[in-house]
Amino acid sequence: MATKHLEDFRVGEQIQTQGRTVDISDVTLFAGLTGDTYPLHTNEEYAKGTMFGTRIAHGPLTFSIAIGQVAQHGWYADAIVALLECRSLKALGPVKPGDTITVRATVRDVVKEKPKYGELHVEYDVINQREESVMKFDWIMLAHRKTEETR
């Protein structure tokens, strides 16, 4: 039985995660894991000739780290049943090796249409050490609702 429920979240509620520094080994391991060996991520000489001037993290790597940062924060506890949807993913800036990212997660909607489960809509804003937004997306999850026993 869940100890945290959809009803425990409030629109506008926000948390900020601890920072996590992305290093070159993260980028290299992600390239190997996914097979995404595009030279912008795996070839320093190639990357030097791009607008970024160096290798950058894959967008999906930044996304994955952000999801993990909020999970490790413990904010959701055991309220979440499953992912329903990711909306409006925008890569707003590069994440370079050595950058430290944090996530500001904000509840945007709490949908209580069904008796057992509801939807929790959370906006993720991934921020680097210079307070620049590097990625934003909306994460929609299925969450436990309170029952008669837990009200």
pTM, two decimals, is 0.93
- On the question of pLDDT at 151 being above 80, the answer is no
- What element of type H or E holds 102? strand 100-111
- Please write the tens of the pLDDT for every residue from 106-115: 999 999 989 9
Per-residue confidence (pLDDT) for residue 113, from 0 to 100: 87
Tokens of 74: 């413990």
Interatomic CA distance for residues 126 and 57, integer angstroms: 13
Q: Show the domains of the chain with their CATH numbers.
A: 6-144 (3.10.129.10)
For residue 58, the one-letter residue type is: H
Q: Dump pLDDT digits (tens) for 55-70.
A: 999 999 999 999 999 9
pLDDT tens string 38-57: 999 999 999 999 999 999 99
